[in-house]
Amino acid sequence: MSLNRLFVAEYDRSLDNVRCREPHAKEGDSIGDLVAMSELESDALRVAIENSRSSRPIMQGLALIKANIVFCLSRRLHLACGVIFPFFVHKLIEKVGFRVTVRYVALLIGTLLSCACFLVKPRMPRKGWSKDSKWVDFTLFKDPTFALYTSGAFFVILGLWAPFDYLPSMALSHGFSDSLSIYLISIINAGSIPGRILPGHLADTIGYFNTMTTVCILAGLSIIMLWTPFTYHPSHVGIIFFAFIYGFLSGAFISLMMPCCAKSGTIETLGQRFGTFQFAVGIGCLVGLPIGGAILNTGSEGYLGLQVFSAVVMVGGGLVIGGARVSKAGWGLRKRA
C-alpha cells in the first residue's frame, strides 16, 4: 500500500501566486485545492492504515513519503518544494515558459491521480452513512489524553511550517543565490524521507507518545540552536545542515501524528477522533503562517521574532504532548506509551 500511496499526488500549490491575478480567483482556487487535497490525504492514509496490521508507524511513514519525492508543500513558485519537483519546474520554465510548464504539471498530476483511483483499494467493506455520526465531536475532549494531545499538536503545527515558507526568503535576503533558495525546500524534504521512516521504528520500540514528545521538543530546539544563529552568521553549510535536520524532525512529527491520535482513545471512536483532531490541527495550519508573517513584518530584528515564536510554540506543544503521555501511562519514564 505504501507504493500505492506514492501515486496520491497533491496539487501544485507553488504556482498559486503567479497563475491567478484576480483576488477572487485565488480564493476560489485555494478552497478547491484544499478540499481536494484533504480528501486525497485522508482517504489514502486511512487505506494505508487499514492494510497494515503491524508496524503501523512505519507503514504511515512510508505512506507519507508520497509527494515529498515529487510534489510540493509551499505557496510560492520560487519556494516550490519536494525533492525532484523544484528541479523539474525550475528547468522546465527556463526551457518552455510558464504556461507550458503549467500544462505539463497538470498532465503529470492528472496521470498520477488516475493511477491512484485504480490502485488504492480499501480493505474494509463500505458502510452506509450513520445518522448518529458526527463530523466533529467535541465531547471527545473530555478524555484528557486526547485533549492534551490535540492541544499539543495544535501548538506544534503553529510553528511547524515557518521554516518551509521563510527559510528560502531569508537565504535570499542574506545574499544567497536564487538556486540555493529554491533547493532549500528540496533539502528539507530529502531529510523528511528518513524522518518519516526511522522514528516510526523507534515508536514501535519505546512508544508513540515518548517518541512524539522527543521529536517535537528537538524540532523546536533545532530552530533556536541551528536556524537563529544563521541570522547573525550566515553560511551555506549552516543553512543546509539546519534544513536537513529540521526536515528529519518535521517529517517524524507528520508521520507519527495520526498514529498518536489513534492511540489517544478507544477503537470505537477512531473515525470521530481522526476527524476532530484534523479539524483542530487544520486551524493551526490556517493561522500559523499568518501569525508568523505578522511577527516578521512588525518586528525590528528581522527573522528573530519569527524564529523565537516558532521555537517556543513547538517546544511548548511537545511538553503538552508529554502531558498526554503522562495522562495515558503515568510518570514512569521507562514506561512504553
315, 319, 325, 326 alpha-carbon torsion, rounded to 10°: 160
Tell me the pLDDT of the chain (337 aa) as tens digits: 444 444 444 444 444 444 444 555 555 555 666 666 666 666 666 666 556 554 455 555 555 444 343 333 333 333 334 567 767 777 788 888 888 888 888 888 788 778 877 877 766 666 666 666 666 677 888 889 999 999 999 999 999 999 988 888 888 888 887 777 777 888 888 888 888 888 888 888 888 899 999 999 999 999 999 999 887 888 888 889 999 999 999 989 988 888 888 888 777 777 788 888 888 888 888 888 889 888 888 866 778 889 999 999 999 999 999 999 998 888 876 777 6
CA distance 285 to 238: 27
Interacting residues of 89 by C-beta distance below 8 A, sequence separation 6+: 12, 14, 77, 80, 101, 105
Grid coordinates belonging to 314: 513547538
Question: CA 142 → CA 42, 145, 150, 260, distances in Å?
Answer: 25, 9, 12, 17
How high is the pLDDT of residue 47?
66
C-beta of residue 320 within 8 angstroms of C-beta of residue 148: yes
CA distance 307 to 168: 14
Alpha helices by DSSP H, listed for the chain, are: 2-6, 16-19, 23-50, 56-65, 85-96, 98-119, 144-160, 162-173, 178-195, 198-206, 208-222, 228-232, 236-263, 270-298, 304-329
C-beta of residue 159 within 8 angstroms of C-beta of residue 222: no
Whole-prediction pTM:
0.75
162-173 and 178-195 are packed helices; what angle lies between their axes, rounded to 10 degrees?
A: 150
Question: CA 141 → CA 146, 279, 335, distances in Å?
Answer: 6, 13, 24
How high is the pLDDT of residue 299?
66
CA distance 116 to 278: 23
CA distance 256 to 18: 34
For CATH 1.20.1250.20, list the domain ranges present in the chain: 137-337
How high is the pLDDT of residue 225?
93
Helix, coil or strand: residue 22:
coil
b/e per residue 237-270 (b: at least 16 CB within 10 A): eebebbbbbbbbbbbbbbbbbbbbbbbbbeeebe
How high is the pLDDT of residue 49?
58
The CATH code belonging to domain 137-337 is 1.20.1250.20
Residue type for 195, please?
A: G
Distance from first CA to last CA of the chain, Å, rounded? 27
263, 269, 270, 274 alpha-carbon torsion, rounded to 10°: -100
162-173 and 304-329 are packed helices; what angle lies between their axes, rounded to 10 degrees?
A: 160
How high is the pLDDT of residue 135?
63
pLDDT in tens, 253-265: 988 888 888 888 7
How high is the pLDDT of residue 234?
81
